[in-house]
Amino acid sequence: MIDFNIAPFVGTETDYIREAVANKMICGDGPFTKRCHAWMRERFDVQKVLLTTSGTSALEMAALLCDLEPGDEVILPSFTFSSTANAFVLAGARLVFTDVRPDTMNIDEGKIEAAITDRTRAICVVHYAGVACEMDAIVEIAQRHGLKVVEDAAQGVMSAYKGRALGTIGDFGCFSFHETKNYSMGEGGAFLTNDMSCAERAEILREKGTDRSKFLRGQVDKYTWQDYGSSYLPSDINAAYLWAQLEKADGINENRLVSWNAYDAALRPLAERGLVELPTIPVNCVHNAHMYWLKAADLDERTRLIAHLKARGVQATFHYIPLHSAPAGLKFGRFDGEDEFTTRESNRLLRLPMYYNLAKDDLLRVVDAIYEFYGVSR
Ligand SMILES: *Cc1c(COP(=O)(O)O)cnc(C)c1O
């Protein structure tokens, strides 16, 4: 069986976890967390990074920092994971879903402005498959209307837009280090911002509403309850696992890109014959090979292709059921404008096995099985 995903593992994780335990500082913000923070600040050229217990909790922090009031609206794509939406619902907002572009499956920047009302407070973009949204256009719209921009860069760690790391372009950025992502700590994530006026509140939110972070830096002699907050900081044991992966971040990235490019080259002939559609990487984007997807003709063909691949030992999977059509989406939001692409394109999309150290032979078995399905020889 060729798995859809295998959690990344470089070999040094267990040594670092042992070291974290020996440090006798297994709670949050220990030495490994500090190393991860410093590495990401430097690598992604961003002022504040806070490891979190998940990508979901990083999104919750971002949503809380948008200072939403009941009735306020947040614009986001419908083609995303529930966490993107939950964060804003929990923060009290109404959701306004907009359509995606079929080439990247990212929010269509051209359809955002029409969705803005006098209650709109934020735009949350999702860099699907680690491919950048059109951030210049989105930030320009946001600035003109006085809106916050949150980047759900859960899939975008190590990707860039015009030379800037995804997650560092909007007001707040959110990474995920779940085991299905390019870099992992089991469960985990990170919150990023260049807005130092929010950095202190972010620390307080993450530390149960207290200024313990300041206390740990010796800036106050005792810590007290400052504001509302939660517990969003991960154990240093998890950070130790992540540190092993960040040390090898370039190697992991290159390895995934080799697989991504191999899929792309091998499947291009099918696309040229009009049998499938393949992802587009916009010129402004350097991507991280988070995912390789293709689009079948329609839902029926995709269902048959999944079954065909399964029978040949290949695990390929569809992705999001558009949120606006889900029970919670109906309850908490509305779709603005026409659903031109979201439903139709999500019905066609299929994700192929993709992980660190995917064997070339396995990748070619996946490709062969797809060619066999379409009755074309390679
Ligand atoms: C994975 C993911 C999340 C959630 O991250 P967790 O770490 O699993 O909480 C949120 N948004 C998107 C787009 C994701 O892919």
Q: Indicate whether residue 154 lines ligand 1 (CB < 6 A).
A: yes
| Amino acid at residue number 357 | N
Lookup: tokens for 273: 């014959």
Average pLDDT value for residue range 27-41: 97
Mutate to test the pocket of ligand 1, among 5, 90, 178 (most ligand atoms within 8 A of CB): 178
pLDDT tens-digit profile of 21-30?
999 889 999 9
Q: Indicate whether residue 56 lines ligand 1 (CB < 6 A).
A: yes
Q: Final residue of a domain: which of 222, 247, 272?
A: 247
- Confidence (pLDDT) at 27: 94
Q: Which domain holds residue 280?
A: 249-374
| Mean pLDDT value across the chain | 97
Percent of the chain with pLDDT over 90: 99
User: For residue 218, how far is its CA from the centre of ligand 1 (angstroms)?
Assistant: 34
Residues 136 and 172 in one domain: yes
Lookup: tokens for 212: 């313990």
Has residue 8 been placed in a domain? no
Has residue 1 been placed in a domain? no
- Number of domains composing the chain: 2
Residues 281 and 237 in one domain: no
Has residue 225 been placed in a domain? yes
pLDDT tens-digit profile of 223-265?
999 999 999 999 999 999 999 999 999 999 999 999 999 999 9
Residues 112 and 260 in one domain: no
Residues 127 and 263 in one domain: no
User: For residue 7, how far is its CA from the centre of ligand 1 (angstroms)?
Assistant: 15
pLDDT tens-digit profile of 122-155?
999 999 999 999 999 999 999 999 999 999 999 9
Average pLDDT value for residue range 274-278: 98
How far apart, in whole angstroms, are the C-alpha atoms of residue 336 and residue 324?
10
How far apart, in whole angstroms, are the C-alpha atoms of residue 342 and residue 20?
44
Percent of the chain with pLDDT over 70: 100
- Confidence (pLDDT) at 25: 86
Q: Final residue of a domain: which of 226, 247, 268?
A: 247
* Residue 95 backbone dihedrals phi, psi, to 5 degrees: -95, 135
* Residue 151 backbone dihedrals phi, psi, to 5 degrees: -105, 115
Has residue 267 been placed in a domain? yes
Which is nearest to 77 in space by CA: 278, 295, 339, 344?
Answer: 339
Residues 170 and 288 in one domain: no
Has residue 185 been placed in a domain? yes
Mutate to test the pocket of ligand 1, among 54, 61, 81, 288 (most ligand atoms within 8 A of CB): 81
- Confidence (pLDDT) at 51: 98
Has residue 6 been placed in a domain? no
**Is 0.85 topped by the overall pTM?**
yes
* CATH number of domain containing 287: 3.90.1150.10
Q: How many CA atoms lie within 13 A of 303 on its CB side?
A: 4
* CATH number of domain containing 106: 3.40.640.10
Residues 211 and 280 in one domain: no
- Confidence (pLDDT) at 378: 87
Q: Final residue of a domain: which of 209, 224, 247?
A: 247
Has residue 109 been placed in a domain? yes
